[in-house]
């Protein structure tokens, strides 16, 4: 369904937070700690990553 393609279209930074948040099941605070960046940055980055992924999936017809 093109999910892997959509993921590969993200920037490395975006894929990183998706990987850590979803596949790694880390909390937002844990991601901040692991990456050494502020919690607010993690939230902004994760939101942007998810929005981009949503857009990529829509572009591929996986989501409306």
Partner 1 sequence: VTAPDHERLREDLAGYVLGGLTVDEQLALEAHLAECTSCRAELADLDPVPVLLDLAAPVAPSDDPAVGDDADEPSTEHDREPSAEPVLTAVGSTRAQAATDTPPAPNPTRPRRRGVLAAAGVAVAMLLAFAVGLVVAAPSEPAYGAPIALHAVGGSGAAGTVAVRAADHGTEVRLRLRQLPAATGTWYECVWWSDSGGRWSAGTFRPGPTASTDVELLAAAKLHPGWRVAILEHTADRPQPVTVLTTTT
Contacts of 50 (CB under 8 A, 6+ apart): 18
Tokens of 48: 């942007």
Task: Decide whether 30 or 37 has the Cβ nearer to partner 1.
Answer: 30
Contact positions toward partner 1, by CB under 8 A?
A: 1, 3-4, 7, 18-31, 40, 43-44, 46-47, 49-51, 53-54, 57, 62-63
Q: Which residues contact 7 (CB under 8 A, 6 or more apart)?
A: 15, 18, 53, 56
> In the complex with partner 1, which residue's Cβ is closer, 37 or 50?
50
Please state the closest distance from residue 32 (CB atom) to partner 1, in A. 11
Report, in Å, the least distance between residue 39 CB and partner 1.
Answer: 10
What residue has token string 């999936």? Answer: 57
């Amino acid at each position: 369904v093109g999910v892997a393609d959509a993921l590969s279209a993200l920037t490395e930074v975006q894929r990183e937070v998706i990987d850590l948040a979803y596949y790694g099941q880390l909390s937002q605070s844990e991601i901040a700690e692991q990456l050494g960046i502020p919690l607010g940055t993690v939230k902004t980055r994760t939101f942007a990553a998810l929005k981009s992924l949503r857009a990529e999936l829509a572009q591929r017809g996986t989501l409306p």
